[in-house]
Structure 1
Amino acid sequence: MLGLWSAHAADFLLILTLATTLVFALPIFLVPLTWARLMAWQIPQQTDLAVYFGRCLGAFILILEALMLRAALTGEAMHTAFELLAATATMMIVVHVYGALKRIQPLSETLEIGFYVLLLLLTLMFWPA
């Protein structure tokens, strides 16, 4: 299974980068509380810390997006991009399963477990040769 679709690794990274930048990275970076409300989070009265953490997370995601975009367009650090993507998907599965088990997140976050499992499987399928 590892690398079954490796010939299309760059295309996969490019499509994934565009989609996740628009759906996750930019909204979390620019308007974290608006994004959180759309995901059904309860917003506390004091929001400065939530905005700060949201913008930090968004900035980190944008860094990953830039690395994936560079790999997709130039082929440079392709394996590194896939390693980061697999590690991120794995850790996000852990984070979201923990939140689901503790019942401390909205349903939208629990449903993201499926997204990250699919992302990990696709990452493995497109793993560059």
Structure 2
Amino acid sequence: MIGLFSTHAQAYLLILSIGTTLVFALPIFLVPLLWARVMQWTLPAQTDLTVYFGRCLGAFILIVEGLMLRAALTGTALVTTFEVLAAVAGFMVVVHIHGALRRIQPWTETVETGFYAGMLVLTLMFWPVG
């Protein structure tokens, strides 16, 4: 399974980077409270810390998006980018399962577990080999 579609690794990164930039990175970075409402989170009365953490998370997502876009367009650090993606996907599965088991997240976040699990599988399938 690992590297089954490795010849299309850069195309995978391009598609993934565009999609996740539009759906996750930019909304979380630019309008974290709007994104949280869309994802069904209950917002606290005091939101400054929420906005701060949302923008911090969005900034880190944008860094990963930049790595993906660079690797997709130039092939630079292709394997390293896939390592980062696999780590992100794996840890996000753990984070979302933990939230689901403790029942501290909206249903939309629990559903998102499948997105990250799928991203991990696809990342392994498109892993650059050879």
TM-score by length of 2: 0.99
Q: Which residues of structure 1 form unaligned runs of 5+?
A: none
Aligned equivalents of 1:45, 1:113: Cα separation in 2:
28
Shift of 1:43: 0.5
| Matched position secondary structure for 2:104 | coil
Q: Provide the C-alpha distance between the structure 1 equivalents of 2:64 and 2:117, rounded to a whole number of angstroms.
A: 18
Percent same amino acid among aligned pairs?
70
> Counterpart of 2:115?
115
Superposed counterparts of 1:84-123, under 5 Å: 84-123=84-123
In structure 2, the partner of 1:38 is 38
User: Is 1:83 the counterpart of 2:83 in the alignment?
Assistant: yes
Q: What stretches of structure 1 move > 4 A for 4+ residues in a row?
A: none
Once residues 66 and 115 of structure 2 are traced to their aligned partners in structure 1, the CA distance between those partners, rounded to angstroms, is 21
**One-letter amino acid of the structure 1 residue matched with residue 92 of structure 2:** M
| Deviation of 1:28 (Å) | 0.1
The CA deviation at 1:80 is 0.5
Q: Deviations over 1:13-48 (max 9, x none)?
A: 000000000000000000000000000000111000
- In structure 2, how many angstroms separate the alpha carbons of the residues matched to 1:43 and 1:102? 18
Q: Distance in 2 between matches of 1:97 and 1:69?
A: 28
Give distance in 1, aligned partners of 2:58 and 2:21. 9
**Superposed displacement of residue 91, structure 1:** 0.2
Which secondary structure state, in structure 2, belongs to the residue aligned with residue 111 of structure 1? helix
Cα distance in 1 for residues equivalent to 2:23 and 2:49: 22
The separation in 2 between residues aligned to 1:128 and 1:121, in whole angstroms, is: 14
Q: RMSD value over aligned CA atoms?
A: 0.3
CA distance in 2, matches of 1:114, 1:26: 21
Offset of 1:88 from its aligned partner? 0.1
